[in-house]
Amino acid sequence: MKSNSPLLLVPLITVVLLMTSCVATLIGTAAVTAVDVVHDRRTVGSYIDDGTIELRIREFLIRDPKIRNNTHVSVTSLNGIVLLTGEAATLELRNEVATKAKKINGVRQIVNELRIAGRTALFSRANDTWLTSKVKTRLIKDTGVDANRIKVVSEYGNVYLMGVVTRAEANTATEITRSVGGVVRVVKVFEYTN
């Protein structure tokens, strides 16, 4: 019996380590979320609602095989305003995604920027990710506005700015974004505090 004891310790140690890493991940996620909420002008409830809205929309996008196989949709929610970007193979699918998204509890408005097109290549998406990073970096560096107050979404060189901001903050962010190389168009999806 004693010779088996070390073998029993291996699974026990593994379980403890896995639980410890899960706890660390949860604590880390909670800390990041707490920092986001502190710097965000939305209420904690709105912040949580937006996350729930995004998850519910992604859920129906994955569940419906027709939508899943014929679209590429990015979903961003801020204060119940949902931005849909990406591609849909047909006008009918574009409209169906928007109609279903509008039915999700808590959605106040849909900004449907889905293009009628085939799904983009990975290179195009990587380029948009790079563009988003460049815009965020410039906003942090040049505005003095907290980076968590403005969400930046890029698709095909079009940059969408979302947030609860003052008109002055919106104008400054828009002008800075326009000056970033690779930006084709800036679309403001702001809610104003003044």
Q: How many CA atoms lie within 13 A of 88 on its CB side?
A: 20
- Would you say domain 44-116 falls under CATH 3.30.1340.30? yes
For residues 128 and 115, the answer to whether their CB atoms sit within 8 Å is no
pLDDT tens figures, 125-142: 889 999 999 999 999 888
- pLDDT bin (cut points 50, 70, 90) of residue 32 is very low
- Domain covering 122-192: architecture: 2-Layer Sandwich (3.30)
Tally of CB atoms within 10 A around 160: 22
pLDDT tens figures, 99-118: 999 999 999 999 999 999 98
- pLDDT bin (cut points 50, 70, 90) of residue 15 is low
pTM of the model: 0.76
Q: Write the CA distances from 66 to 55, 70, 89, 92, integer angstroms.
A: 19, 6, 10, 11
Residue 92 tokens read as 């009918």
The H-or-E segment that residue 189 falls in is strand 185-192
pLDDT tens figures, 138-176: 998 887 766 678 999 999 999 999 999 999 999 999 999
